[in-house]
Amino acid sequence: MTQVTVLGTGAWGTTLAQVLCDAGHEVLMWGRNTEVVDEINSSRSNHKFLPGIFLPENLRATTDVTTAFTFGKAIVLAVPAQSLRENLRSWKPIFPAGVPIISTLKGIEAETMSRMTEVIVEELGTDELLIGLITGPNLAGELSLREPAGAVAASPNEVLQHLMIDLFTTPYFRIYPSYDLVGCELAGAAKSVVALAVGMTIGMNLGENTQAMIITRGLSEVARFGHSYGANPLTFLGLAGMGDIVASCGSALSRNRQFGEAYGRTGTMEAARIEVAKTVEGVASAPAIRELAHRVGVEVPIIEVMADAVTGSITPAQAMERLMSVSTLAEL
């Protein structure tokens, strides 16, 4: 049994905490919301983020980050991607040295175009071999019900891979090791933009032919983009790539798809933000991913269109018109 600290009490952090408990570990969650923390401790529930889920007895929560850092022999990050740097800066004076850090964040920092693990290294000075990533087609609403699912434990450090496998493996959650941290991280960020595009087409009442085109062409873009940064092309055929795209694009539980649907239906970003008042990583990451692709000369038409769409430069109708005008000289 390992003592694990989970930073974040949202739907994803709470779901991962449940998985860790089910795997036989002792878990302490940290969050700022006193009402959520008190409910977890007193009622074994988190109705705001995971309604109807009864949490394990070996799960506790706290608002005291010092207590959280003192507790964990491993630290799991489950805070919004765009707030990671700010959080790390505030935590740095008390962040424990030498403790494995496991990121579960999917996004690219909007201002710096940095991957989340790069932000961790920059802010904490942590050895890259102590940083891992859990990623894959994991929708919190389904995983919290203990429905069968799989994920990738990515790290260049084989010892950390095995630690993540031990921490998160349960009868319903299978973990597969990967050395391709960069590829897994870029895939997790870029798939959110593809899911936005698929949602947009659904909101516009376009059918499955259109969705299939966006998904497959989007996967191709994500693979080219990742490969240009040294990722293993096969990563994008696995759980971190194709698996995550299929789940995010195909499920109504996906926040990115939900936001895309609202945008396609209403025609404005303002209305979509009101309708989906949640963290949507694809909206913040799209312009940054476009910039990263342009830096290495990779064409990513779907990502480019969605980056313009989420900044309000074009409407959903104009976005589809642009997507259908992309060169058809060769599919691959």
For residue range 81-104, what is the model confidence (pLDDT) as tens digits? 999 999 999 999 999 999 999 999
pLDDT at 330 over 60: no
What domains are defined for the chain?
3-179 (3.40.50.720), 189-323 (1.10.1040.10)
Q: Average pLDDT for residues 189-193, to the nearest whole number? A: 95
Closest alpha carbon to 104 in 154, 56, 141: 154
**Six-digit token pair at 141?**
């609403």
Instruction: Supply the pLDDT for residue 328.
Output: 55
Percent of the chain with pLDDT over 90: 92
pLDDT band at 277 (very low <50, low <70, confident <90, very high): confident
Instruction: Supply the pLDDT for residue 332.
Output: 54
Q: Which sign, positive or negative, has the C-alpha torsion 101, 104, 110, 112?
A: positive
Instruction: Supply the pLDDT for residue 248.
Output: 95
Instruction: Supply the pLDDT for residue 327.
Output: 54
Instruction: Supply the pLDDT for residue 331.
Output: 55
pLDDT at 210 over 80: yes
Question: For residue range 40-54, what is the model confidence (pLDDT) as tens digits?
Answer: 999 999 999 999 999
How far apart are alpha carbons 110 and 112 in whole angstroms?
A: 6
CB atoms within 10 A of CB 4: 25
Question: For residue range 112-167, what is the model confidence (pLDDT) as tens digits?
Answer: 999 999 999 999 999 999 999 999 999 999 999 999 999 999 999 999 999 999 99
State the DSSP string of 174-242. EEEEES-HHHHHHHHHHHHHHHHHHHHHHHTT--HHHHHHHHHHHHHHHHHHHHHTT--GGGGGSIIII
pLDDT at 270 over 60: yes
173-178 and 149-154 as β-strands: parallel, antiparallel, unpaired? parallel
Q: Average pLDDT for residues 165-192, to the nearest whole number? A: 97
pLDDT band at 291 (very low <50, low <70, confident <90, very high): very high
pLDDT at 231 over 70: yes
Instruction: Supply the pLDDT for residue 279.
Output: 79
Instruction: Supply the pLDDT for residue 135.
Output: 98
Sheet of strand 59-62, all strands in order from the earlier edge strand to the far edge:
59-62, 26-30, 3-7, 74-77, 101-103, 131-135, 149-154, 173-178
Residue 191 falls in the annotated catalytic set: yes
Which of 48, 73, 106, 191 is the catalytic position? 191
Residues facing 170 on adjacent strands: 173
Q: Average pLDDT for residues 51-62, to the nearest whole number? A: 94
Name the pTM for this structure: 0.93
Q: Average pLDDT for residues 214-234, to the nearest whole number? A: 95
pLDDT at 188 over 90: yes
**Six-digit token pair at 68?**
């959280």
Burial class of residue 45, CB neighbours in 10 A (0-12, 13-18, 19+) = middle
Closest alpha carbon to 106 in 4, 233, 194: 194
Instruction: Work out the mean pLDDT of the chain and round it to a whole number.
Output: 94
